[in-house]
Amino acid sequence: MNFCFSNKIKRKDFYSYCVRNSVKDITLTIPALLGLLLVVDGMPSFISKTDGVLSVGNSRVFIGFCLVLMSILRVYQSCKDFVVYFAEETLSCDEEGLTKISQYSTGRYKWKAFLMIKESDKFLLLYVNKKQALYVQKDLLLPEQIQFIKSKIPAL
């Protein structure tokens, strides 16, 4: 089966996928949850102190806010580095492999070069190593094309 399509990833979809996967990262969720807990715990004494004196409640709210903000910034930082994914690219698939052409790069991947395939609600992720994947927008493909790609690469 040979087919060719234009792959343009929508920012909204990519960022929502990025955030959902970041929630699974314990190094991001623990500080964020701890921060929220500190904010909620320190809020009653923060509200009751109006004399400007730094209290334990004020410190808890400040530290909690910083932890939450730090987690949000880490998620944003990890997502913004992937600007290359938003470039329009042309992908063509055949029995031998996949060819990718974009303004940033051109490459030919044999099917055996992909370690695994992972499927989300919006994407097919074709992993070339443990951390790098080609993102393919699923709504651009017909069901039989998705099945063809999935049959060529081992599932996660």
Render pLDDT for 96-118 as a digit per residue (tens, 0 to 9). Answer: 999 999 888 888 999 999 999 98
Q: What is the pTM of this model?
A: 0.60
Position 49 confidence tier, pLDDT thresholds 50, 70, 90: low
C-alpha–C-alpha distance, residues 68 and 28, integer Å: 9
Structure tokens at 81: 């580095």
Please, which residues have CB within 8 angstroms of residue 126's CB and are 6 or more apart in sequence? 98, 109, 114, 117, 133, 134, 136, 149, 153
Q: Locate the DSSP E strands across 8-155.
A: 89-93, 97-102, 106-110, 116-119, 123-127, 133-137
